[in-house]
């Protein structure tokens, strides 16, 4: 008779278990006690070993003190705020936007520690219903304020049949060692159009976790962009399911990584019905002693014939100490599909750099120009001029070391 070896729990795991117990989530506390945080042996966390990387967890967050100005200013946007996991009062909503609050988990339950923790610890959720053509950009300003704290928050968004909108989620807060766990569930109705952008601008001491789940109905069109430009440890995980024929999605993301950071974007896309298309385009730039991670998985179900899906990751290393890790994969059960994936990684092209410098451009400026060109295709599809300018400023700030 075999005897299971007890899992050795670290300080972070012990704190999380106590917090789950205090929240009345005894079953989740027991499960975490038995398994611990995921290690390299868990395939989806192979490059982001939370047992090693997450060494401590601060106390659960209380009410947020007064918030500072938004980390990302978007001219003309309608702004909603979630501070320390709590939905704040909103002003008058624009036409086509219905704002509410709900309780309970917004994400589909799955075997993932971040999903389970969010379901157990998030209180009320912000709910948005979008109808018709929503004109202003909607900004959901998600904050971790005050002294270091652990917070969990959630948003549920429904884009009605034929509706269209642009939503930006920004993550920021005070300069403290926060641990935040954000969840967003987004459902697109028939013929709906949505652009969803998530930008992490957390403190350099913070740990940032975010889960985005998408459900696409018939003829829905989705464009996403996830940007990591803050936090010492960050992981954004994306789960998407194509549930209606004729639906299409462009998934894109960017890790901007510098000294001491470990930033991870993990993607899991399920083409569950025939005649759907997707394009996955992710980029990573690393400098100093840092690590950037991309994991992408495309699943084509047995009956999902005529699927067209293409995934690409491109990495750019700006130092010898930087690490860029990439694992794109396909899991195809249908036989009439067009699917592919690729991954490239390298340094700045010396020939292009020499050309610019031979025209009198200083080396630092020439390198910045080439990196901007490398990232251009991620920001170009953003049609709103003010939003495009704001995202470009985030990238330029990182390039210039601000």
The neighbour count for residue 332, using CB atoms within 10 Å, is: 16
CA 28 from chain centre, in angstroms, equals 24
pLDDT digits (tens, 9 = 90+) for 236-259: 999 999 999 999 999 999 999 999
Supply the pLDDT for residue 402: 61
Supply the pLDDT for residue 355: 83
Cα 348 to Cα 236, 315, 317, distances in angstroms: 26, 10, 8
Domain boundaries, the chain: 72-347
Tell me the two tokens of residue 161.
């049949």
Checking DSSP bridges between strand 78-83 and strand 86-87, what pairing results, if any?
antiparallel
The neighbour count for residue 246, using CB atoms within 10 Å, is: 18
Task: Give the strands of the sheet with 78-83, arranged side by side.
Answer: 86-87, 78-83, 138-144, 164-173, 193-200, 221-228, 248-257, 277-286, 308-317, 338-346
Supply the pLDDT for residue 91: 81
Given a contact cutoff of 8 angstroms between Cβ atoms, the answer to whether 292 and 325 are in contact is yes
C-alpha to C-alpha distance for 106 and 156, rounded to whole angstroms: 6
Supply the pLDDT for residue 308: 97
pLDDT digits (tens, 9 = 90+) for 365-401: 888 888 888 898 999 999 899 999 999 999 988 988 7
Q: What is the pTM of this model?
A: 0.94
Given a contact cutoff of 8 angstroms between Cβ atoms, the answer to whether 85 and 209 are in contact is no
Given a contact cutoff of 8 angstroms between Cβ atoms, the answer to whether 200 and 171 are in contact is yes
Of 151, 157, 156, residue with least CA distance to 173: 151
pLDDT digits (tens, 9 = 90+) for 11-68: 999 999 999 999 999 999 999 999 999 999 999 999 999 999 999 999 999 988 876 6
Given a contact cutoff of 8 angstroms between Cβ atoms, the answer to whether 227 and 391 are in contact is yes
H/E segment holding residue 114: helix 113-121
Beta bridge partners of 79: 139
Supply the pLDDT for residue 1: 42
Give me the residues of the chain with pLDDT under 70, please.
1-6, 67-68, 402
Task: Give the strands of the sheet with 207-216, arranged side by side.
Answer: 97-102, 125-130, 150-159, 179-188, 207-216, 233-242, 262-271, 291-300, 323-332
């Amino acid at each position: 008779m075999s005897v299971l070896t007890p899992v050795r729990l670290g300080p972070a795991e012990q704190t999380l278990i106590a917090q789950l117990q205090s929240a009345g989530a005894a079953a989740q506390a027991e499960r975490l006690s038995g398994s611990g945080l995921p290690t390299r042996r868990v395939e989806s966390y192979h490059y982001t070993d939370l047992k090693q990387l997450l060494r401590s967890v601060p106390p659960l967050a209380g009410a947020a003190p007064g918030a500072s100005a938004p980390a990302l200013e978007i001219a003309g946007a309608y702004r909603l705020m979630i501070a320390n996991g709590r939905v704040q009062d909103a002003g008058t909503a624009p036409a086509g936007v219905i704002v509410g609050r709900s309780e309970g988990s917004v994400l589909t339950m799955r075997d993932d520690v971040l999903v389970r923790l969010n379901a157990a610890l998030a209180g009320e959720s912000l709910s948005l219903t979008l109808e018709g053509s929503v004109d202003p950009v909607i900004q959901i300003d998600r904050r971790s304020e005050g002294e270091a704290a652990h917070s969990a928050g959630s948003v549920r968004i429904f884009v009605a049949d034929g509706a269209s909108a642009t939503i930006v989620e920004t993550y920021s807060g005070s300069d403290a060692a926060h641990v935040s766990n954000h969840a967003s569930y987004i459902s697109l109705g028939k013929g709906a159009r949505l652009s969803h952008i998530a930008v992490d601008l957390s403190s350099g001491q913070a740990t940032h976790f975010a889960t985005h789940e998408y459900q696409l109905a018939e003829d829905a069109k989705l464009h996403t962009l996830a940007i990591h430009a803050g936090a010492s440890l960050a992981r954004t995980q994306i789960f998407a399911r194509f549930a209606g024929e004729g639906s299409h999605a462009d998934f894109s993301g960017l890790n901007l990584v510098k000294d001491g950071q470990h930033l991870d974007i993990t993607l899991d896309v399920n083409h569950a019905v025939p005649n759907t298309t997707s394009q996955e385009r992710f980029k990573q730039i690393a400098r100093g002693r840092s690590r950037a991670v991309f994991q992408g998985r495309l699943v084509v179900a047995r009956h999902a014939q005529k699927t067209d899906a293409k995934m690409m990751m491109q990495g750019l290393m700006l130092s010898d100490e930087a690490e860029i890790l990439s694992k794109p994969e396909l899991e195809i059960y249908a036989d009439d599909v067009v699917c592919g994936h690729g991954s490239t990684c390298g340094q700045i092209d010396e020939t292009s750099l020499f050309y610019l410098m031979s025209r009198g451009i200083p080396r630092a400026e020439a390198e910045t120009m080439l990196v901007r060109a490398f990232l251009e295709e991620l920001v170009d599809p953003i049609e709103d001029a003010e939003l495009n300018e704001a995202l470009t400023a985030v990238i330029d700030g990182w390039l210039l070391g601000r």
